[in-house]
Structure 1
Amino acid sequence: MTSPAHRKSYGVKGAPYAFLLPAATLFALFFVLPIGYAIWLSFRKVHVSGLGLGVGARKEVWAGLENYKDALTDNEFYHGALRVLGYGCIVVPVMLGLALLFALMLDTERVRLAPFTRLAIFLPYAIPGVVAALLWGFLYLPSVSPFYYILDKLNLPQPDLLNGGALYLALSNIAVWGGTGFNMIVIYTSLRSIPAEVYEAAKLDGAGPLQIALKIKIPMVAPSLVLTFFFSIIATLQVFNEPTTLKPLTNSVSTTWSPLMKVYVDAFGKGDIYSAAAEATLIAIATLVLSFGFLRAANRRNKQEAAP
């Protein structure tokens, strides 16, 4: 017979698992199972017999790696990946550079109206991505944009931001405008956690504000920079809202401009959920590989710097 003391000890040890059970259940139902189902669909396809009419004429069969082979040899998917690569080369460095610059500026002693400035920089992040893209889209249109009206009155050139190479700048501007505030808050919070004694010691050694920023602040917030870079890579590979929202405003944005848009078209436009599942899996794998590779490189560098 189990003693009361043993039952009490078992209840205490099992309490953490009981508290974790609801979260673990939701995680499994709404994260693990959908991912597993998408991977399962990526290895399937529909086999059509005859004209595809009648009972049993269309049935789901095992496809192996056929969907992955088709995705990797699809020119639309390939060119979409190249476009996202060019888009990311603009967005990530500019957004993180501005976030770091704003965080360093707000962390100085002479800054005025710091709470208002932090809120003003962060506020665009609180605006939904579709709304932000729609707002900027109309600002890019010469017929309704106040900027083009001012340029016209001043007899200045009016660039076409919705066509050609300028389209990358237009899309990148939306992402930078919306994401800089979040990354700035992450970096700024890390800066505020640095002990004041570190700054006092640096000032006693004769270090100026620029030297403190370059040699103390930036190295000490390196983990936050790694974190924001990690999030930025994921957001870049999954870009969807901006080009999809701007598509009705210009012919330069195709329905498959980004890989995620290609997944959407295949799944809901063509009804081919099997190819879409394979493409989505490839995007997830690319995100995992790039993120894991960057984290390993960052950890290796930190270990080398910490080694005597």
Structure 2
Amino acid sequence: MGDVLWTEPVIRALAARHRRLTVVTKFNDLFLNYPLSNVRFRSSLPFWRKILVRLGIRWRTVVLDDAYEQSPHRHFLEAYQAKAGLPLVREYPRLYLSASEKALHPPKPYVVLHLESFTDKNYRKVYGIDWNQVSAYLAGEGYAVYQLGKNPAPIEGVAHKETTLREMMALLHNAALFIGLDSGPSHIAAALGVPSIVFFGAVNPLYRHFPELWKGLILQGACPYAGCFHEAPDPETMVCRLVGNEGIPVCSLHTTEGVLDAIVTLRQKYIC
């Protein structure tokens, strides 16, 4: 989902060049309310197009599948722009919520957490933090706290929100702060301009965000093999060089105090 989100600037740029543009993706809900009338979204290619693509005939077709995987040492967006033959422009995706979606959640300030990893890889998780203490601090500062995910570990005082994609976008839109892993919700929060604290393990955050354009803070433990995710021939089978599959990678190890300090820093910077 986060990968597909970063195609939005490419969609916008191609739409400016062509009279009509059809975008094929399984995540069409990301692009509801899209304001360009010459862009339409489909969940699959027409049959005749599929045949042409399988034959290697890509007439008037830009295929972004595996663009990042083929160029792992650059930002998502730059990889997509290069494959589409577009100039490299540093910008964030744009999302469009309806008026009813924007008004879906109450005005009381709240924080959204997303701590449930989409993978079992230890270098894509976060360790060492007492989330009950973090939640208590946020509650003491007047925030309600919600947690996204299918089945996240319970945190005292935190309400679990199992949402559709659009409901998640609406929840993030009005959030005072987002705290979570490097994953789809973190990229949606960034695109919506929500001040964010994002945990990175083996991933190089400069290949995911543009620090000068982002209201965010990166939390990542120091490691002699920093960014090793991008060096692996196959990230799906990659193993931490220091602790293997079962230990706690230093890049993913954090402290409660570090998270609380980051919250204070963001609140001071963005008055959230």
**TM-score class, shorter:** under 0.3
Query: Which structure has the higher relative contact order (CA within 8 Å, separation 6+)?
Result: 1
Q: TM-score, normalised by structure 1?
A: 0.22
More helix by share: 1
The structure having more radius of gyration, on CA atoms, is 1
Q: TM-score, normalised by structure 2?
A: 0.24
